[in-house]
Structure 1
Amino acid sequence: MKKIVLLGMSVLLVVLAAVAFAADGSWSRAKGAGKLVIGLDDSFPPMGYRDASGKLIGFDIDAAEEVGKRLGIKIEWQPTAWDGVIHSLNAKKFDCIWNGMTITDERAKQVAFTKPYIMDGQIAIVNFKEKRFKGLKDLKNFKAGTQKGSSGVEAVKKLATAPTELKEYEDYPKALLDLEAGRIDVVVVDNVTGRDMIAKRPGKFKILPGMISKEPFGVAFRKEDTELRGKVQQTLDKMVKDGTMAKISRKWFAEDITNPKKF
């Protein structure tokens, strides 16, 4: 009798879960509309930005467009102010946020993230021919540079040895000019930004192995849109497995930074 009751309860739970999932309707809604509307800040290279002709390009653009292709729906991009992007998502101005968004505990209280698809964070860049430093632990008696007011300022404080001098620049390109000229030894910069700059100037700089800090990127959905998030996650998982995400990553970063095993 006990086994029958337990079996009955198990079946009931499965049925209730299936009903709850089906009642979500978020995937059916997107499929019925024939499109997935994505909110983004369209000035964030290399994740999503405009080229000289005004065309929207970037890593996130390529990845999302491939997801849309596999799901059989169109991707519609909705530029929005970043400081209110979560509010706009929950106000249903678009279906998700896909724009190099860092997964944080605070944000996770308001939205539902996919698994990380890129591990961002702070890295250290040196000249390509630099031989003194082979890793972050080798950084001693060095001059560092970073962008004023950026996360790099705090990241420098996390290094095992403090620099003899820290120069803060208006932007990273100016810091890289000083690095190339030998006026500083290291530039601490955001991972995706740094890799984008290196890819555009091959043979000039290199990244020291390891990350000073880690900041995972995820696609954000409304908490109630479980079905839609699941569809996108399943597709991203397949793209990682078949090498598509690696291919897109090499296009934008000159190497694969999407392998979850390396996060």
Structure 2
Amino acid sequence: MKRVLVILMVAVMLAFAASAMAGDGSLEKVKQAGQLVIGLDDTFAPMGFRQDDGTLVGFDVDAAEEVGKRMGIKIVWQPTEWSGVVHSLNAKKFDCIWNGMTITPEREKAVSFSKPYIMDGQIAVITMGNKAIKGQSDLGGKIVGVQKGSPALEAAKSIKPAAKEIREYDTNVKALLDLEAGRLDSVVVDSIAGRYSMAQRPGKYVALPGYITNEAFGIAFRKDDKSLQAEVQKTIDAMIADGTMGKISRKWFGEDVTDPAKW
């Protein structure tokens, strides 16, 4: 008898939770609108960036477009200033942030994240041929660049001995151009973006050995939008299971970086 009562109580609790999730209206609102509006920094290669003709491409773009196709809705991309992207999400300027966003305790106070879909980390990049800097410890007393509002800032602050100066830039592209011009000694950037930039300009940059931090990428939703988050997560889980995420990953990175078993 007790066992039956426990089973009934669990069933009631699960039903209540499902009802509460469905009752937040976020998924229904997106379905009625026929579109999911996603905020991003459209200079963040290879996650989401513009080709010369203005076309938006990247890993996150391909993955989100596939999610939209499976959910039967259109994906609308909303470029935004990265330093204020969380505020813009909570101000309802878009429905989620899907742009290689690192899951951090500070951000988790303001938004709700999906499960990690890529494991990344911060690295230090220098110009090719720089003989004075051989490792992270050589960055002490040097001028280091980072993207404003990104985890690179805290990663740069954690380097010992400390950098002489940390300069913040609107985009990683601007920071790397200043590095190439000799105005910086190094740029701290997430591995995926940094290595993609290095591949685009061969012979210009090189990464110092090792990671400064290890970080997971997640999709950010407003905390109340539980039904929307659940549906997007279910769709991504299916894409991982059927190999679609791996296929998209190999297109952009040459290997499957979405498989949790490899993290």
User: Smaller-chain TM-score range?
Assistant: 0.7 to 0.9
**Identity across aligned pairs (percent)?**
55
Aligned to 2:145: 147
Aligned to 2:47: 47
- Equivalent AA in structure 2 for residue 237 of structure 1: D
Provide closer, same or farther for how the CA distance between residues 177 and 28 of structure 1 changes in structure 2, counting only shifts above 3 A: same
Cα pair 1:247 1:256 within 8 Å, conserved: yes
- Equivalent AA in structure 1 for residue 86 of structure 2: I
- CA-based RMSD of the aligned residues comes to 4.0
Shift of 1:152: 6.3
Moved more, 91-100 or 6-15: 6-15
Provide closer, same or farther for how the CA distance between residues 162 and 31 of structure 1 changes in structure 2, counting only shifts above 3 A: closer
Aligned to 1:133: none
Distance 1:73 1:149 in 2: 32
Structure 1 counterpart SS, 2:23: helix
Summarize deviations over 1:156-183 as a string: whole Å, max 9, x none: 78679999xx9x9x733564698xxxxx
Distance 2:126 2:81 in 1: 34
Provide closer, same or farther for how the CA distance between residues 193 and 149 of structure 1 changes in structure 2, counting only shifts above 3 A: closer
Provide closer, same or farther for how the CA distance between residues 147 and 255 of structure 1 changes in structure 2, counting only shifts above 3 A: farther
Q: How does 1:103-182 map to 2 (within 5 A)?
A: 103-123=103-123, 147=145, 155=155, 171-173=175-177, 175=179
Shift of 1:67: 1.1
Cα pair 1:102 1:217 within 8 Å, conserved: yes
Cα pair 2:249 2:258 within 8 Å, conserved: yes
Distance 1:18 1:154 in 2: 38
Structure 2 counterpart SS, 1:171: helix
Provide closer, same or farther for how the CA distance between residues 204 and 40 of structure 1 changes in structure 2, counting only shifts above 3 A: closer
Provide closer, same or farther for how the CA distance between residues 148 and 17 of structure 1 changes in structure 2, counting only shifts above 3 A: closer
Structure 1 counterpart SS, 2:234: helix
Could you tell me the TM-score, scaled by structure 1's length?
Answer: 0.74
Distance 1:105 1:153 in 2: 15
- Equivalent AA in structure 2 for residue 92 of structure 1: K
Aligned to 1:234: 234
Larger radius of gyration: 1
Provide closer, same or farther for how the CA distance between residues 126 and 94 of structure 1 changes in structure 2, counting only shifts above 3 A: closer
Aligned to 2:171: none
Q: How does 1:177-188 map to 2 (within 5 A)?
A: none
Aligned to 1:181: none
Shift of 1:104: 1.1
Q: How does 1:198-209 map to 2 (within 5 A)?
A: 198-201=198-201
Aligned to 2:170: none
- Equivalent AA in structure 2 for residue 24 of structure 1: D
Aligned to 1:91: 91
Could you tell me the TM-score, scaled by structure 2's length?
Answer: 0.74
Aligned to 1:64: 64
Which residues of structure 1 form unaligned runs of 5+?
129-135, 179-183
Structure 1 counterpart SS, 2:86: helix
Cα pair 2:117 2:217 within 8 Å, conserved: yes
Moved more, 14-23 or 70-79: 14-23
Equivalent residue pairs, number? 256
- Equivalent AA in structure 1 for residue 176 of structure 2: Y
Shift of 1:5: 4.1
- Equivalent AA in structure 1 for residue 107 of structure 2: R
